[in-house]
Amino acid sequence: MTLLQPDDAMSKTIFILNGPNLNLLGTREPDIYGAETLADIETASHARALELGIVIEFRQTNLEGDLVNWIQEARSKADALILNAGAYTHTSIAILDALRAFDKPVIEVHLSNIFRREDYRKHSYVSEAATGIISGFGSHGYMLGIDAAAKLIARN
C-alpha cells in the first residue's frame, strides 16, 4: 500500500518486496537483523522516496507465489524493483525466472552480510538477475537501495 505520494502525477514507482519472516523483524534474531521492525523500515522508505519524488509500493509475504506474482505485476506498474527475498534468495528459481522477465533495474537487499554467514546463504538466485546488491548495512540498506534505484531510473 502506498502511504505517501509526491504531488507530481508523473512520479516514478519502485516496488519494494519482502519475503518470508521479514514480518518478524525486531523480534527475530535482533543480533543479526537489528531491532527495527519492518513497519519502521517501511516508514523510513516512504519518507526517503518522498524526498526523491518517487512513489513506492512496499509489500511483504511469506509465500513464494506472491513474490512471483508481484514481480510480474511490477513489469507494468514499476520503474524499478527492490527485493529482499529472504530465504527464497537461496532457493527460488521461480523468483529468478520472474526477475529475468523484468527488464528494469532490480536491487537486491539483505539486512545481514550474507557472505559472512552460513555457506548455504552465500549463493543467491536473485543476484543472477539483479542490477546490484546491497548486503550487510541493516535497515539502511533499503535507503541505499532506494537511492540506487532512483539514480538508475533517472538514467533511463
Four-point Cα dihedral 37, 95, 67, 149, nearest 10: 60
- Catalytic residue numbers read 33, 110
Question: Which amino acid makes up residue 138?
Answer: G
What b/e sequence results for 114-129 when a residue is b if at least 16 CB atoms lie within 10 Å of its CB, and e otherwise? beeeeeebeebbbbeb
Best CA proximity match to 16, nearest among 48, 45, 52: 45
| Cell numbers for 5 | 505520494
At residue 81, the 3 state secondary structure works out as strand
- Please say whether the beta carbons of 54 and 146 come within 8 A: yes
Question: Which amino acid makes up residue 32?
Answer: I
